[in-house]
Amino acid sequence: MVRDSKKKEEKPKESPFKKFLKKRAPVYLAVIAIVIIFIIPELTKGDLQSSFPETLTEEEKLVRDTLMAYNGPNDEGHSLYDEISNKISEEYPNEKIYENKKTKVNVMISNLEDKNYRVIFDFESYKGDFHYNWNIDMQTGDVKGMDEESKNIISRVDFYD
């Protein structure tokens, strides 16, 4: 009897927490793995909007947002942002181009006079680049392309309904 009681005393009791983990650890690991594999990439999915530089002042952000929201003289149809996004999607189908380290989006905004601004938009990637140069009048909302490619994209926005 003495031996039996000593054997029982020598064997340490397993804590309830360890029992809990042993039973449920594989389930918790599976749930965590599913979240990491499927949900987090969707939440961090890159797009043009998230690629804009963060160093712009509030006034420059307002000019950028006004330009990207421009959708023609009749305020209908595609916006300039939609048109640029579509062009990038056509060039890079089925690619997560914004996650590529070589992809850079740069927006430079300079005040020309009073409420007129020049906005230079550069998109650079491993395949090539797009450069756009627009003037925007913040009072009237008019946007003018300053080079051929910029004029072309503005005409698509103006006449798309």
Residue 45 has pLDDT above 60, yes or no: no
Instruction: Give domain 49-159's CATH architecture.
Output: Roll (3.10)
Supply the pLDDT for residue 41.
60
Question: Across the strands, what pairs with 143?
Answer: 136
Residue 40 has pLDDT above 60, yes or no: yes
Q: What is the mean pLDDT of residues 43-53?
A: 64
Q: How confident is the model at residue 42 (pLDDT cuts 50, 70, 90)?
A: low
Q: What is the mean pLDDT of residues 109-134?
A: 88
Q: How confident is the model at residue 89 (pLDDT cuts 50, 70, 90)?
A: confident
Indicate the residue type of 82: D
Of the two residues 146 and 46, the one the predictor is more confident about is 146
Q: How confident is the model at residue 82 (pLDDT cuts 50, 70, 90)?
A: confident
Q: How confident is the model at residue 113 (pLDDT cuts 50, 70, 90)?
A: confident
Judge residue 133's burial from the number of C-beta atoms within 10 Å of its C-beta, 0-12 exposed, 13-18 middle, 19 or more buried. Answer: middle
Supply the pLDDT for residue 5.
55
157 to 71, 73, 81, 154: CA distances (angstroms): 6, 9, 10, 5
- DSSP labels for 27-81? HHHHHHHHIIIIIHHHHT---HHHHS-S---HHHHHHHHHHHH--TTTT-S--HH
Supply the pLDDT for residue 50.
67
